Amino acid sequence: MNSTEASITLHQPARPPAGDSRWSVEAIQALFDLPFNDLLFRAQQVHREHFDPNAIQRSTLLSIKTGGCSEDCGYCSQSARRDSGVDREPVMPIDEVVANARAARDKGATRFCMGAAWRGPKEKDLDPVLDMVREVKKLGLETCVTLGMLKEGQAEKLKDAGLDYYNHNIDTSPENYPKVIGTHTLLDRLETLDKVRTAGIKVCSGGIVGMGEGQRGRAAMIAELANMETPPESVPINSLVQIEGTPLAGAEKVDPFDFVRTIAAARITMPTSFVRLSAGRAEMSDELQALCFMAGANSIFYGERLLTTDNPDADRDEALFARLGLHGA
């Protein structure tokens, strides 16, 4: 399947998943329509076939280049077009990156994800990132970067430096995409994902819940991910962190049970992928997070900071893991 076909998932007729690896939006919508307990039971069954149900992978994020981004993503604090109070900063010096990575490893993270507020890296931007990947890898951590759209040859350079994962989210449903982002298209994003895959880097791609997409939009977003020729190895499901000064501040909040349903649908449709309970945990109760783990989430962002917003402290997560009998993966 090429990227153009991937982006027209919405228009596929309903198809039962049995014996067919493609998921229609209707089939995912039917999962959402199940009684909550039935959906969670199914998600647990799938989860237990493929993973230790009590193991949670931990990734730590670091913003290596904050603010001043040319893009207009309606949820993001880092767009230069918004007044969200996040200022443009230069690329972080490598020593600081390595010190952060070492501290993350010592606290139990197994992957270190470095994020840059770029539309995509210019050639001169890539070299310092390649050095960061090499140095972080030497610490025994898995490496991940999220740098925006890649040009020809850049994915190969990242692969040669030892990059394990590239994060590049599809963010929302095909229909909702142009309502949230005007400076690039979903097709642009899918093209970068193809480059990453072709270079032999593992794909981390997911999206955000709570951007006016509705339940059908969430089903369409999950279908888009699940129907990729090879689904992403890592699927971050973010709950929108509403940021003052962005167009999506004040968006209608999603029923937390519908957030859990989205996690369950990701688990069922992408059985062997890690599903990450991502942004938004700082506003979630322990009980809601436990339901997300029950629904098949088996990865988190770990450490007190995401990119520009807060995440629960590692101590709070350690306490939650202990209360739930969870352990690191």
Residues annotated catalytic, as ranges = 69, 73, 76, 113, 144, 204, 276
Whole-number minimum distance, CB 86 to ligand SF4, in Å? 10
Interface characters, 65-104, with ligand SF4 (x: CB under 6 A)? ----x-x-x--x-xx-------------------------
Does residue 309 bind ligand DTB (CB under 6 A)? yes
**Nearest distance in Å: CB 67, ligand SAM:** 10
Contacts (CB under 6 A) with ligand SAM, residues 12-71:
none
Nearest to 320 by CA among 284, 275, 271, 266: 284
Strand segments, DSSP code E, in 106-172 are 111-116, 142-146, 165-167
Give the residue from 236, 255, 241, 254 showing the smallest Cα distance to 298: 236
- Based on CB atoms, which residue is closest to ligand SF4, 44 or 84? 84
Which x/- pattern, by CB under 6 A, does the window 103-142 give for ligand SF4?
A: --------------x-x-----------------------
Handedness of CA 124, 100, 84, 206 (dihedral sign): positive
Count of residues interacting with ligand SF4 (CB under 6 A): 9
Q: Is 169 in the site for ligand DTB (CB under 6 A)?
A: yes
**Which of these, 249, 308, 300, lies nearest to 104 by C-alpha position?**
300
Read off the DSSP letter of residue 303.
Answer: S
62 strand-pairing partners = 114
Residues 63-122 that bind ligand SAM (CB under 6 A): 75-76, 78, 115, 117-118
The helix/strand/coil state of 214 is helix
Count of residues in contact with ligand SAM, rule CB under 6 A: 18
Write down the least CB distance from residue 14 to ligand DTB, Å: 29
DSSP-derived secondary structure letter, 305: B
79 binds, among ligand DTB, ligand SF4, ligand SAM, none (CB under 5 to 8 A by kind): ligand SF4
d(CA 192, CA 168): 8
Measured from the CB atom, the residue of 238 and 298 that comes closer to ligand SAM is 238
3-state secondary structure of 91: coil
Contacts of 265 (CB under 8 A, 6+ apart): 28, 31, 32, 39, 218, 219, 222
Contacting ligand DTB within 106-125 (CB under 6 A):
115
User: Of these, 9, 24, 100, 167, which contacts ligand DTB (CB under 6 A)?
Assistant: 167
How far apart CA 231 and CA 234 sit, in angstroms, is 9
Sort 325 into a burial class: Cβ within 10 Å, 0-12 / 13-18 / 19+: exposed
Residue 278 touches ligand DTB, criterion: CB under 6 A: yes
* Contacting residues toward ligand SF4, per CB under 6 A: 69, 71, 73, 76, 78-79, 117, 119, 148
Residue ranges that bind ligand SAM, judged by CB under 6 A: 75-76, 78, 115, 117-118, 146, 148, 168-169, 171, 208, 238, 240-241, 243, 279, 307
